[in-house]
Amino acid sequence: MKIHFITGATGFVGKYLAEALLEKNENVWVLVRSTTELSVEGRAQEIFGEFLHKWPTTFKFIEGDIVSINLGITDKDVAALDKHEVIFWHLAANLSFSVVNKENVQKTNCVGTANAVTFANQHAKKFIHMSTAYVCGDSLKFSENELSKGQKFRNHYERSKSEAEKFVHENCKLPYKVFRPSIIIGDAYQGKAEGCTFGYYRYTFMFYFLRKNIMKKLESGGFISRLFKLVGSSYDEGDKTLTVPWLFIPYPRNGIVDMISLDHVIESKVELYDKEFDSMAVHLTHNDPPKHRFILDSILHDVGFRKFKLLPVPPKLFAVSAKVLYFVVFPIRKYVKSVMWYIPYITTRCEFDKTVIEKHYKNPPKVSRDLIKRINEYAKENILENIEI
């Protein structure tokens, strides 16, 4: 029997990969570790309760931790795996860009990958590794058969993912594939919303928080309320929109965001993992990425702003304005910092070679207004109100 064994299934992409495989009547086992708050059983029930109910015979969780030798899996569970043809999906990773988390990022992404490859070499038939398109670092052009070309990394996350991918290429003894997605967007389930790649919900939250606070001032009846009304601020109770003709928000001129939908990432992985082709990696990037202005305008509109103005500025000035905002708006400093970390990804663009996806599958669909609106509406209804300052 074939078993799809997934690390990182508790994460943003991993959970949806597990679901997609289960929907195709595949057998899926996932690695789950305990936390200080929850046991393995409790965590599995919290995250995968629906799976356990819907697929009681084809879905299974086992206890383990990728930073442990042998992945922390018991001899009994290893013996159970060895009875089957195992397809090993390694998606577990630490996505933090923060210098404070540098040690944990290195441990999870590099040590964890080494442990996963070592385990897979002994107990699996195929290995699929989740990397990132941004192993390209500061390169402006990057091919699927490249990994090290003298690029400089913008953060430790990029460096750790490059080192992890290099370990796979040099040490995996199985047929393997490496997938390199760019910025993945989609409906993150609540437990993973804040950790969503690109910090999309964090970014959206800044404007949600701003709207909420302008509303409070308008309703206060004090001096600031009168001032806001004097400069044209008003609230429409009917459609719950806030008019702010005085609000100017800068954005990097000609900035783009290489976003791809979660659906495309999952479909591509499921379609290509078993294809026979010889390639160092598969770039899951967008051939026509949306402009940053479009994303920003969509977010502001969807959280309820009207008659605001977007101001195009040179990329360097945009970076400076983000730093100023970081020091001025203390309550949401950590969310502003998320934006600062991602400035390189919206002010420069790498041209990614996409030979494999164009030959064996299809390019991603356009990042449409409907897609962004769906994600933003989901955020408003399920996530933004619950994010802690």
Residue 282 covered by a domain: no
Distance from C-alpha of 49 to C-alpha of 38, rounded to nearest angstrom: 14
Query: Which of 150, 181, 212 is the last residue before a domain boundary?
Result: 181
Backbone angles phi, psi at 66, to 5 degrees: -65, -20
**Does residue 61 sit in the same domain as residue 206?**
no
User: Is 275 domain-assigned?
Assistant: no
Domain of 235, in residue numbers? 190-256+289-349+366-386
Instruction: Assess whether 209 and 130 both reside in one domain.
Output: no
Query: Beta strand pairing status for 59-63 and 27-32?
Result: parallel
Q: In degrees, to the nearest 5, what angle opens at C-alpha 176 toward C-alphas 171 and 181?
A: 105
- Tens digit of pLDDT at every position of the chain (389 positions): 999 999 999 988 999 999 999 999 999 999 999 988 889 999 999 999 999 999 999 999 999 999 999 999 999 999 999 999 999 999 999 988 888 889 999 999 999 999 999 999 999 999 999 999 999 999 999 999 999 999 999 999 999 999 999 999 999 999 999 999 999 988 655 445 444 444 688 788 889 988 988 999 998 888 989 999 999 999 998 889 999 999 999 999 999 999 999 999 999 999 999 988 777 799 999 999 999 999 999 999 999 999 999 999 999 898 888 888 777 776 667 777 777 888 899 888 999 999 999 999 999 999 999 999 998 998 888 888 777 65
Same domain, 90 and 224: no
Q: Which residues contact 143 (CB under 8 A, 6 or more apart)?
A: 353, 355
Same domain, 206 and 155: no
**Same domain flag for 6 and 133:** yes
Same structural domain, 207 and 64: no
Whether 267 maps to a domain, the answer reads no
pLDDT computed for residue 221 by the predictor: 84
244 and 131 inside one domain? no
Total residues belonging to the chain: 389
Specify whether 158 is located in the same domain as 293.
no
Residue 295 maps to a domain? yes
Q: Are residues 173 and 202 in the same domain?
A: no
Residue 361, in any domain of the structure = no
Residues 172 and 195 in one domain: no
pTM, entire model: 0.92
For residues 170 and 213, state if they share a domain: no
Token reading at 268:
């591509």
Q: What is the CATH number of the domain that holds 85?
A: 3.40.50.720
CA distance readout (Å), 181 to 134, 233, 286, 298, 351: 8, 41, 9, 23, 13
In a domain, 131, yes or no: yes
Tally of domains within the chain? 2
Residues in a beta bridge with 60: 29
159 part of a folded domain: yes
Domain boundary among 148, 181, 214: 181
- Can you name the residues that pair with 180 across neighbouring β-strands? 283
Query: Residue 106 has which token pair?
Result: 């290195």
Out of 161, 181, 201, a domain closes at 181
- Within this chain, do residues 228 and 120 fall inside the same structural domain, yes or no? no
Residue 263 included in any domain: no
Closest by CA position to 228, among listed 238, 214, 240: 214
Residue written as token pair 């004090």: 222
What confidence score (pLDDT) does residue 113 get?
98
Q: Which residues contact 378 (CB under 8 A, 6 or more apart)?
A: 187
Q: In this structure, which amino acid lies at residue 85?
A: E
